[in-house]
Amino acid sequence: MKFFVDTAEIDDIAELNALGMVDGVTTNPSLIMKSGRDILEVTREICALIDGPVSAEVVALNAEDMIAEGRKLAQIADNIAVKVPLTWDGLKTCKTLTAEGIMVNVTLCFSANQALLAAKAGATFISPFVGRLDDINVDGMELIAEIRQIYDNYGFDTQILVASIRSVEHVTQSALIGADVATIPPAVIRKLAGHVLTDKGLEGFMKDWAKTGQKIL
Ligand code: G3P
């Protein structure tokens, strides 16, 4: 499973990338707002840092303007994936931009039928939001399993990009189900390394080591 980082914070992306943890990056209008940066400027910097796909989201609501925004974003770099919302206009934009050879990430997906439409419109990525489904007491991971089955049933190439990941369990479950990509906030990626028994074990080793009175360096 590929790891995308769900952030527009350059420092986080650079640190995780140096560890080989970054296969791509996703941003959205809220993450751009949080970064306090200009969208074109920060997206250009991210694209220069990362070889994989970097999602940048359109903000127009009608297809004509979405397509124009998408074309402008795609000019930033070859690895841009234009992110469009899962609306009728977003699907039209997806169809047009993919025909032009531009990667498209269809976002704000909350149902299997929406995911089916995105695949038929040629989406490179579909972004189902698991955390926001959990927020309304619907099991977000069940949606991922449904989409996996539907895409496999018909051989759709669209990659399942699990979004709105809030916990390490979301990451494990995404990998078990066979999602293609998980886009993960930096803090959750760091949490993946943690385990209470690792901490406990290390504490024990350090106590015993102190008793030996030895040094390695
Ligand atoms: O990739 C979409 C993601 O950023 C949304 O996450 O936590 O705002 O639902 P969240």
Residues labelled as active-site residues: 83
**Contact predicate 165/171, CB 8 Å:** yes
Segment 48-97, tens digit of pLDDT: 999 999 999 999 999 999 999 999 999 999 999 999 999 999 999 999 99
Ligand 1 centroid distance, CA of 33 (Å):
13
**Cβ neighbours for 107, distance < 8 A, ≥ 6 positions apart:** 28, 55, 57, 83, 84, 85, 86, 127, 129, 163
Closest residue by CA, ligand 1 atom 5: 164
Return mean pLDDT, the chain.
Answer: 98
Domain assignment of residue 159, given as a range: 2-212
Query: Quick one: pLDDT band at residue 152, thresholds 50, 70, 90?
Result: very high
Ligand 1 centroid distance, CA of 166 (Å):
8
**Average pLDDT, integer, range 185-194:** 97
Alpha carbons within 13 angstroms on the beta-carbon side of residue 162 total 35
| Within-domain flag for 114 | yes
Closest residue by CA, ligand 1 atom 3: 164
The first and second tokens of residue 171, run together, are 């990451």
* Cβ < 6 A, ligand 1 pocket: 6, 26, 28, 129, 131-132, 163-164, 166, 183
Ligand 1 centroid distance, CA of 65 (Å):
24
Segment 103-148, tens digit of pLDDT: 999 999 999 999 999 999 999 999 999 999 999 999 999 999 999 9
- The confidence score (pLDDT) of residue 120 equals 98
Ligand 1 centroid distance, CA of 162 (Å):
10
The first and second tokens of residue 146, run together, are 């449904």
pTM above 0.85, yes or no: yes
> Which residue of 12, 28, 136 sits with most ligand 1 atoms within 8 Å of its CB, as the best mutation to test the pocket?
28
Q: Which atom of ligand 1 is nearest to the CA of 164?
A: 6
- The confidence score (pLDDT) of residue 131 equals 98
Question: In total, how many domains does the chain have?
Answer: 1
| Within-domain flag for 7 | yes
Backbone angles phi, psi at 101, to 5 degrees: 85, 15
Spatial separation of the C-alpha atoms in residues 133 and 128, rounded to whole Å: 9
The CATH code of the domain that includes 121 is 3.20.20.70
Query: Quick one: pLDDT band at residue 25, thresholds 50, 70, 90?
Result: very high
**Burial track 154-189 (b if 16+ CB lie within 10 A, e otherwise):** eebebbbbbbbbbebebbebbeebebbbbbbbbebb
- The confidence score (pLDDT) of residue 165 equals 98
| Within-domain flag for 206 | yes
The DSSP symbol for 145 reads H
- The confidence score (pLDDT) of residue 98 equals 98
> Which amino acid, residue 166?
R
Q: Which atom of ligand 1 is nearest to the CA of 31?
A: 4
Closest residue by CA, ligand 1 atom 4: 164
| Within-domain flag for 217 | no
Closest residue by CA, ligand 1 atom 9: 164
Q: Which atom of ligand 1 is nearest to the CA of 132?
A: 9
- The confidence score (pLDDT) of residue 162 equals 98
**Contact predicate 35/8, CB 8 Å:** yes
Query: Quick one: pLDDT band at residue 192, thresholds 50, 70, 90?
Result: very high
Ligand 1 centroid distance, CA of 130 (Å):
9
Closest residue by CA, ligand 1 atom 1: 163
